[in-house]
Amino acid sequence: MSVEKVLAVMSASDKPLTAGKIAELAGIDKKEVEKAMNVLKKEGKIVSPVRCAWEVKK
């Protein structure tokens, strides 16, 4: 799965990102990004400071 790749893209960004933007930056399918984000949400590694955008939990 692309969990590590999604986390790396999110870590490199200085602002919250949408799933579509992460998919574009990582070069992977949006569905794969959404699956990876669900895993990261369950693990508590990402948070949503604004609606529909996510960032790495500090």
> Measured between alpha carbons, how far is 58 from 55 in angstroms, rounded to an integer?
9
pTM, entire model: 0.90
**CATH code, domain carrying 13:** 1.10.10.10
> Measured between alpha carbons, how far is 1 from 13 in angstroms, rounded to an integer?
21
Query: For 1-58, what is each residue's pLDDT tens digit?
Result: 689 999 999 999 999 999 999 999 999 999 999 999 999 999 999 999 999 999 999 8
Token pair 């990102």: residue: 17
Instruction: Print the domain residue range for 30.
Output: 3-56
> Measured between alpha carbons, how far is 34 from 55 in angstroms, rounded to an integer?
14
Q: Structurally, how many domains does the chain consist of?
A: 1
